[in-house]
């Protein structure tokens, strides 16, 4: 399993042709206390860079963008009742959805953990 990161602070953990997607710890800290999450519908087709989910905090509402193109095969329904999970475990239980990748080549444009850490230090 490999994890990749976007400049918009999403992560995708890929195994085979599917990837679990969420926002990074950095993004969760910037948002503050998350009070609402809208995950994408199962069966929805997304294109890399499209907005696919919404996360609202006491500070702001933010779109979550698809790190890759593909079809949403699973959504984290538990976030509807426990949006704070995004703050408690942004890169664990606070995941948003699973996407079946339509083009694994799109992963080449994403950062690995070391590159993402360096990117965040520059912000």
**Domain range list for the chain:** 2-116
Q: What is the CATH number of domain 2-116?
A: 2.40.50.100
Q: Work out the average pLDDT over 94-121.
A: 97
Q: What is the 3-state secondary structure (H, E, C) of the chain?
A: CEEEECCCCEEEEEECCEEEEEECHHHHHHHCCEEEEECCCCCCEECCCCEEEEEEECCCEEEEECCCCEEEEEECCHHHHCCCHHHHCCCCCCCCEEEEECCHHHHHHCECHHHHHHHHHCC
Please tell me the predicted confidence (pLDDT) of residue 1: 87
Tell me the whole-structure pTM to 2 decimals. Answer: 0.96
Question: Model confidence at 89, in pLDDT bands (50, 70, 90)?
Answer: very high
């Amino acid at each position: 399993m490999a994890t990749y990161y976007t400049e918009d602070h999403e992560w995708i953990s890929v195994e085979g042709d599917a990837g679990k997607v969420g926002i990074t710890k950095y993004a969760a800290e910037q948002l503050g206390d998350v009070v609402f999450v809208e995950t994408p519908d199962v069966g929805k087709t997304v294109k890399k860079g499209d907005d696919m989910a919404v996360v609202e905090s006491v500070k702001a509402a933010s779109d979550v963008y698809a790190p890759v193109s593909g079809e949403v095969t699973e959504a984290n329904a538990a976030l509807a009742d426990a949006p704070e999970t995004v703050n408690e475990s942004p890169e664990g239980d606070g995941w948003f959805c699973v996407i079946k990748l339509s083009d694994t080549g799109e992963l080449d444009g994403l950062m690995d953990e070391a590159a993402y850490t360096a990117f965040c230090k520059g912000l």
